[in-house]
Structure 1
Amino acid sequence: MDGNNMLKKVAQIDEQLFLTLFNCKSPSWLKVIAFGLSKSGDGGLYLLICGAVWWLSNNEPYQLLPVTLLLGFAIERPIYFLAKNRFARVRPCDCLVTNAYIVPSDKFSLPSGHSAAAFLVAMILSHFFPEYTWLLFGWASGVAISRVVLGVHFPADIMLGAVVGSSCAIFSLALVVPE
């Protein structure tokens, strides 16, 4: 199988998985949960976390958390915008289905910015608060999956977003947090 055929096969699997997760017959409670998770990844929560940790913490290592998050986003956002415009993948709600549950903020889907941001935040917070690792990555996964359930991303979009966000978090932690 040559490279083009393999990419077509991956795209077909991605579309089938999308159609399985984005189901018009999904119960309304699932859509409500997906909407709430998606909203939690819009960005306001990240600013609140940075501000609260900085304001409430007298412990010097915790004061590195906002700096690490800000650096992580300073690295992630340009990568995200460059990749989004380079790949220029049309969203599933614009090419595969016509009834997404939310209106996306832009026209391209790869990578998922919500997924990148959620995994960046989960990875960095897990470093500072390891006792909440499962909760944080559960939330980040929920944010990512919600984007498929709501009809605005393919599964590959959220997977690449998770990789981008996690990688930027690891790099940011390596630069800011002393060993």
Structure 2
Amino acid sequence: MLEEILKLDHQLFQAINTGLSNSFFDWLMPIMRNKYTWIPLYIGIIIFAIKTYKTKGLYLVLFLATTVGIADFGSASILKPIFKRDRPCNEVAFQANVIARVPCGSGKSFPSTHASDHFSIAIFLSVLFFKKWKYFTAIAVFWAALICVSQVYVGVHFPFDVTFGAIFGSLIGFLVAKLFLKYIPFKA
């Protein structure tokens, strides 16, 4: 059964990494998965939260940072060492099938820490703001999913890596947001 799952994962990888190849995605996807691309967004979230919600906004930022810290540490320092899955671009039997659009890196692949981190942000903020802004959750999840797909497109993660990372990050984001709402009286 595990062989069937890995075969499907490889097929999905090929469909995205090779099947979607085009010059626009070759330009866009490395930008989407670059951590520096999103610094203005993160700064904007911090400024918005503190300016709009004052002390509660500062707590929001602290809880959001905690959310990302837990998701990042859990993914990179706990789960990756347990699973020890090679990245597609480093998997010896598979790397000839990979179009590597960014440097591969030496780290492990499962789960994707990019996916964990970005979905933890998206879901944490969605739990807090979904009532205030009707389309917020759809936009936040689309943003995080685009980053996940870009990780596969550039050749550094398999689809199941980003899927599990997204689930893991979503769970962390949801739980920490509920904890925040339990202890900080917050109305968006």
Q: Spell out, residue by residue over 1:70-111, the C-alpha distance to the aligned partner (whole angstroms, 9 max, x if none).
A: 221232222112111111101101122354111244321000
CA RMSD of aligned residues (A): 2.3
Q: Spell out, residue by residue over 1:118-145, the C-alpha distance to the aligned partner (whole angstroms, 9 max, x if none).
A: 1011111212332211111111000001
- What is the TM-score of this pair, normalised by structure 2? 0.82
Distance 1:13 1:45, change over 3 A: farther
* Matching of residue 125 in structure 1 with residue 125 in structure 2: yes
Work out which of the residue numbers 15, 22, 31 in structure 2 matches 1:27. 22
Distance 1:42 1:172, change over 3 A: farther
Distance 1:176 1:15, change over 3 A: same
- Corresponding residue for 1:39? 34
Deviation for aligned residue 1:40: 4.9
Q: Percent identity?
A: 25
Residues 74-153 of structure 1 correspond to what in structure 2 (within 5 A)?
74-80=69-75, 81-95=77-91, 96-98=94-96, 99-130=99-130, 131=133, 132-153=136-157
- What is the TM-score of this pair, normalised by structure 1? 0.86
Deviation for aligned residue 1:17: 0.8
Q: Is the 8 A contact 2:128 2:177 kept in 1?
A: no
Gaps of 5+ in 1: 1-5
Distance 1:49 1:84, change over 3 A: farther
Counting matched residue pairs gives 174
Gaps of 5+ in 2: none
**After TM superposition, where is structure 1 displaced by more than 6 Å over at least 4 residues in a row?**
none
Query: What SS does the corresponding residue of 2:149 show, helix, strand or coil?
Result: helix
